[in-house]
A and B are shown apart, each in its own frame.
Chain A
Amino acid sequence: MIEMTNISKVYQMGEKKVEALREVSMKIEPGEFIAIMGPSGSGKSTLLAIMGCLEIPTSGRYLFDKKEVSNLTDDELSLLRNEKIGFVFQAFHLLPRFSALENVELPLIYKKVAKDEREERARRCLEQVGLGDRIEHAPSELSGGEQQRVAIARALVNSPRLILADEPTGNLDSTSAQEVMDILSLLNQDKKIMIAVVTHNPLIAERVKKVYHLKDGQLVNEAK
């Protein structure tokens, strides 16, 4: 379970302070699928970065599985991200020199999983997202939709508790976007993985259980 209470994030830009998040509180129950919406600069990505333990809030309390994230060291945060969180980015962020299989293996390398087991688990994840026949392909040989499915397989490979997707369909055509959302919905239903999606797309927001709206770093309302 994720519980955020009065989370604020302030960035120091030279002498100027920029408040990216103000007193945001939210709760995501196990197996929940939520969407975060809002205009550009409203603090969606910052909220996602804090949820993903990539950033530490300036103030407030963030509990991930009842653990206070602010008290963790950098190494402990890395471990938490590795074991419990999966990321899906708008621009996929696959490593260009690696094949689809090797890209999916990446989180397992940091978990010190042996090569054979790594390959086996990565292969299974790629099959799960319908790319069993494309495992040796480099990212440049895959379509946008396929690359995003590789990214989902990479997010999935460590059996995370939470998947954070930042505009996962932003660079995709409508068919591929539909496929990606189908996969995420299926993972949420079958594996009870918490999923948080940042999106501008109201059609995607319609498919989730809860939608949070952010404006100027503040949570303005909670829909559904």
Chain B
Amino acid sequence: MRLSDYLYLAKKDLTNYRLRSSLIILCICVGILSSTLNLYHTSKRAEELISSLENLGGQMISIWVQDKEIQLEDLFFLSSYFPYTSYEVSYWQDIRSFRKTKISVSIIATVPEYQQVHSVKIKEGRFISLGDINQRRKVCVVNTPVASGLKIGVGKKIRIGEDELRVIGLSKEEGMSKRVIIPLSISNEIFESDSRNLEVVILTSGNPKAVKKEIERMLKKRFSDKKGRTRQGFLFESEGFTVSIAEGLLETIKNQRLTSKMIVLGIWVVTLILAGGGIINLIMLSVRQRYKEIGVMRAYGAKKEEIFYLFLLEGILLSVYGLLLAGAIGASYVGLFGGCKFLIFLRELLWSSIICIGIGICGCFPARLAAGISPSEAIRDAN
């Protein structure tokens, strides 16, 4: 039998069970769509992060300060070794506009180098300057989500607690969390020092592993000397500092991808059970109802394998229809709301289509039963 004839016969048979076929197609579509979109969003986010890391033109090294006795000023010496060093204190806080609109944001008190280290692009106005730091000006830079959330722009004022800060710049961080950047020098006036979260970010073009080691050595030497006691052994482990290079971030991205793949695996298993079971059920029913037809087909020269492939193809066709439907809905979603990354979507859709193979294998069982039907028995029973 030719492939075109297999398709012709299989399509004829499937249209006979329109409702059941549609439900199975829908089930396959939901399974493939949810797994594909899950993978798509994880991959898109990962690629954006990787691309922004690459755009920095160097490697970022973060130093998280865990020792409460150490102040950010104690680490200023690092700037003399690394020109692109950003000192950051971050807080979570509610801010208000003068219209009394209130939103929860991440506030980062930092220095002008932050802009270069984190590649912050300014859409309107300017970034924090050295003058702002030295003169302790109550100014801030907000990103787009904050500006649109509070309906404010450059020149307007926001309230953090009792303090009023003038917006001097609008940054182009679309799609990011709500963020307000203020001069490092005013952070002590606005926030209690206990609620701090200190970080130093260094942008280096050198070998990141070597630079990391060098920073660790410098920190150990400086702080064990300063405190007059040996802190080696625990300083960098539990309560001192955590020095990490951006590779750690890449590792996090990889881990996120792995988690996403595990979720997708779960979706696949559920889809396989539901759709695969549905296909077995549908084809079994079809085999039972077409028992006499199978006998007639065999009497007129159909080989066992031709009957097997015909029923198997019916299962595969349902999977393919489900895949195509998921592809069409998914592509529309990506085009309208998902950032138009069609290549990523297509790649993840191909991944998800693995499930179709599994569902196809489910069709083997009833197809084997159909192929094993004795033509004379089928015809005799029908008579």
Does the CB pair A54–B302 fall under 8 Å?
no
Of the candidates B4, B301, B379, the one whose C-beta lies within 8 Å of that of A110 is B301
Does the CB pair B382–A93 fall under 8 Å?
yes
Q: A81-B301, A110-B306 are in contact. Are A93 and B12 (CB under 8 A)?
A: no
Judge if B2 is at the interface, Cβ distance under 8 Å.
yes
Judge if B5 is at the interface, Cβ distance under 8 Å.
yes
Q: Which of B4-23 contact A (CB under 8 A)?
A: 4-5, 9, 12-13, 15-16
Which residues of chain B have C-beta atoms less than 8 A from A75's C-beta? 303-305
Of the candidates A55, A91, A111, the one whose C-beta lies within 8 Å of that of B301 is A111
Interface code B351-383, partner A: CB below 8 Å = 1, 0 otherwise? 000000000000000000000001110011011
Does the CB pair A91–B383 fall under 8 Å?
yes
Does the CB pair A109–B9 fall under 8 Å?
yes
Judge if B235 is at the interface, Cβ distance under 8 Å.
no
Does the CB pair A74–B304 fall under 8 Å?
yes
- Cα distance, A91 to B1, chains bound together (Å): 26
Does the CB pair A78–B298 fall under 8 Å?
yes
Query: Count of chain B residues with Cβ under 8 Å from any Cβ of A?
Result: 30
Shortest CB distance B262–A (Å) = 44
Of the candidates A55, A74, A106, the one whose C-beta lies within 8 Å of that of B300 is A106
Which residues of chain A have C-beta atoms less than 8 A from B299's C-beta? 52, 54, 81, 87
Does the CB pair A78–B383 fall under 8 Å?
no
Judge if B179 is at the interface, Cβ distance under 8 Å.
no
Does the CB pair B1–A109 fall under 8 Å?
yes
Judge if B285 is at the interface, Cβ distance under 8 Å.
no
- Cα distance, A90 to B4, chains bound together (Å): 31
- Cα distance, A115 to B1, chains bound together (Å): 12
Which residue on B lies nearest to A151, using beta carbons?
A: B296
Judge if B297 is at the interface, Cβ distance under 8 Å.
yes
Which residues of chain B have C-beta atoms less than 8 A from A112's C-beta? 1-2, 5
Does the CB pair B1–A166 fall under 8 Å?
no
Which residues of chain B have C-beta atoms less than 8 A from A107's C-beta? 300-301
Does the CB pair B13–A110 fall under 8 Å?
no
Does the CB pair B303–A78 fall under 8 Å?
yes
Shortest CB distance A76–B (Å) = 10
Judge if A59 is at the interface, Cβ distance under 8 Å.
no
Of the candidates A97, A110, A166, the one whose C-beta lies within 8 Å of that of B383 is A166
Does the CB pair A93–B292 fall under 8 Å?
yes
Which residues of chain A have C-beta atoms less than 8 A from B379's C-beta? 49, 54, 89, 93
Shortest CB distance B3–A (Å) = 11
Shortest CB distance A178–B (Å) = 22
Interface code A34-74, partner B: CB below 8 Å = 1, 0 otherwise? 00000000000100010010110000000000000000001
- Cα distance, A51 to B280, chains bound together (Å): 36
Judge if A127 is at the interface, Cβ distance under 8 Å.
no
Judge if A79 is at the interface, Cβ distance under 8 Å.
yes
Does the CB pair A97–B376 fall under 8 Å?
no
Of the candidates B2, B296, B298, B305, the one whose C-beta lies within 8 Å of that of A95 is B296
- Cα distance, A83 to B303, chains bound together (Å): 13
Which residues of chain B have C-beta atoms less than 8 A from A109's C-beta? 1, 5, 9
Shortest CB distance B301–A (Å) = 2
Judge if B293 is at the interface, Cβ distance under 8 Å.
yes
Does the CB pair B306–A97 fall under 8 Å?
no
- Cα distance, A187 to B28, chains bound together (Å): 52
- Cα distance, A97 to B12, chains bound together (Å): 7
Which residue on A lies nearest to B16, using beta carbons?
A: A97
The 15 sampled A-B contact pairs (Cβ below 8 Å) are A49-B379, A49-B380, A52-B299, A78-B298, A78-B304, A82-B300, A82-B301, A87-B300, A89-B379, A93-B296, A106-B296, A106-B300, A109-B1, A110-B297, A112-B1
List 8 other contacts, CB 8 Å, given A52-B299, A109-B5.
Answer: A45-B383, A78-B304, A89-B296, A89-B379, A90-B383, A93-B379, A112-B5, A166-B383
